[in-house]
Amino acid sequence: MHYDVAVIGGGPSGAVAAAELAKAGHSTILIERNLANVKPCGGAIPLGLIEEFSIPDELVEKKLSRMSVRSPHGRTISMHMPNGYVGMVRRERFDQYLRQKAVSAGAELVEALVKKIERSSDRFTIHLSRDLPPVEASYIIGADGANSKTADELGFPPNDLKVIAMQQRFHYCDELKPYEELVEIWFDGEVSPDFYGWIFPKTDHIAIGTGTEEHRHNIRQLQQRFVEKIGIREKPYLDEAAKIPMKPRSSFTQQRAILVGDAAGLVTPANGEGIFFAMRSGKLGALAMIEQIRHKTPLAEYEKTFRKLYAPIFFGLQVLQSVYYRNDRLRESFVAICRDQDVQEITFDSYLYKKMIPAPWSVQMKIMAKNVYHLVKGC
Ligand SMILES: Cc1cc2nc3c(=O)[nH]c(=O)nc-3n(C[C@H](O)[C@H](O)[C@H](O)COP(=O)(O)OP(=O)(O)OC[C@H]3O[C@@H](n4cnc5c(N)ncnc54)[C@H](O)[C@@H]3O)c2cc1C
């Protein structure tokens, strides 16, 4: 069977891309290796994403406008988002919903593992598991996550897989009651020497996790320490772990193939946010492919647009991570700076809608001075 486009991977990036292409009338196959897969993920999404992709209320288990950050010395800064919230979704439901939307738009969904891809002058031949016949497609979208088989098969430059993250799900218990309506982030070297720990409440459980640069620290021990520090005595009912690629590949476009989401390395440093960028890249990638099919516009436009929109955010967060995540003294300073109302406002605005609106000059100067003060003072 021949398709205009084969989308490999049925996570948020692939499902959104397949829906766009099918909606535009292009024959599209969406290939997912395991439809029952539960992607290890905190499931925190910003309001801007919920609005743009019309995510229904029943999928957003919690809308949290309260957040707190905790320093290595246990200092806690409480914050409130007056104009928005962090939505909490559960990936087993969220991904299924997005795939269903792609199917409703006309995409064909197939459960199979992509094992091999062959390329000829005008098409790709995709070899599948389960003895299914090979599929042919004129174009490919690789949406198959951090360890992308598509990228390997098509010879894209390597993905800088930086962080390994682990998360455990706990049923509510007395120790976790205070977190029922609150997102809490721990900046604490014992919990993570180079990333952070998170506490994300859902309807019937709380997801608690931490991350660290791959191969440098023992993620299980860090997670255990985190759980001990919170004081949880109950056992988790689910452990999950996966890699987070927090640096875009040096190129994620070829003449007839593109990578989107984690496959392209589109997770922001410092906060490890990937769902928004997966869905945005899926959409931008699909729109560029539609332009290529119809008007021969180069697919490189997709990468150009993505970088133009989001490179400043990736850069800013990379700087923040390299300055403040190095040791507990700097983490203490970082949490102290979070007390500033203007810092909170800028952080929330850029998180919720991914827009970098420059603060007035006087505010920038004040924040700069506070940065210097806390960096020197160390708290
Ligand atoms: C522990 C953890 C917590 C996180 N928390 C958050 C968070 O709170 N908020 C946030 O925004 N981001 C978070 N992230 C990042 C986020 O999960 C990812 O950025 C996001 O899932 C990327 O979506 P994607 O569609 O690109 O890839 P994925 O969600 O990884 O989807 C890839 C899909 O491809 C399929 N696949 C892989 N190989 C093949 C193959 N050969 N053939 C067919 N199918 C294949 C997989 O089964 C999978 O369904 C977290 C990540 C981790 C590990």
**pLDDT string in tens for the chain (379-residue length):** 899 999 999 999 999 999 999 999 999 999 999 999 999 999 999 999 999 999 999 999 999 999 999 999 999 999 998 889 999 999 999 999 999 999 999 999 999 999 999 999 999 999 999 999 999 999 999 999 999 999 999 999 998 877 999 999 999 999 999 999 999 999 999 999 999 999 999 999 999 999 998 777 899 999 999 999 999 999 999 999 999 999 999 999 999 999 999 999 999 999 999 999 999 999 999 999 999 999 999 999 999 999 999 999 999 999 999 989 999 999 999 999 898 888 888 888 888 988 766 666 666 666 666 666 666 666 6
What is the per-residue pLDDT for 319? 92
Cβ of 142 closer than 6 Å to ligand 1, yes or no, is: no
Q: Which of 66-83 are b and which e, b meaning 16 or more Cβ less than 10 Å from the residue's Cβ?
A: ebbbbbbeeeebebebee
**Is 258 within 8 Å of 150 (Cβ atoms)?**
no
- The gap from C-alpha 377 to its chain's centroid, in whole angstroms, comes to 34
What is the per-residue pLDDT for 367? 65
**Is 186 within 8 Å of 196 (Cβ atoms)?**
yes
- Residue in the structure block whose two tokens are 């196959």: 29
Cβ of 10 closer than 6 Å to ligand 1, yes or no, is: yes
Residue type, 215: H
* Count of other CB atoms within 10 angstroms of residue 376: 8
Q: Looking at the DSSP assignment, which residues form a beta bridge with residue 139?
A: 5
Q: Which two tokens stand for residue 119?
A: 């390329």
Ligand 1 center to 95 CA (angstroms): 10
pTM greater than 0.85: yes
DSSP state of 122: S
What is the per-residue pLDDT for 110? 98
20, 33, 196: residue to mutate for ligand 1 pocket, most atoms within 8 A of CB? 33
| Rounded distance between C-alpha atoms, residue 46 and residue 87, angstroms | 6
| Rounded distance between C-alpha atoms, residue 109 and residue 18, angstroms | 9
Among 88, 63, 311, 83, residue whose Cα is nearest residue 206: 88
What is the per-residue pLDDT for 217? 86
What is the per-residue pLDDT for 378? 63
Q: Tell me the domains of the chain and their CATH numbers.
A: 2-41+90-158+249-315 (3.50.50.60), 60-89+161-244 (3.30.9.10), 326-377 (no CATH)
What is the per-residue pLDDT for 368? 66
Cβ of 273 closer than 6 Å to ligand 1, yes or no, is: yes
Ligand 1 center to 235 CA (angstroms): 25
- Residue in the structure block whose two tokens are 């860090």: 222
DSSP state of 325: S
What is the per-residue pLDDT for 343? 82
Nearest-atom index, ligand 1, CA of 146:
30
Q: Give pLDDT tens digits for 231-277.
A: 999 999 999 999 999 999 999 999 999 999 999 999 999 999 999 99
**Is 213 within 8 Å of 229 (Cβ atoms)?**
no
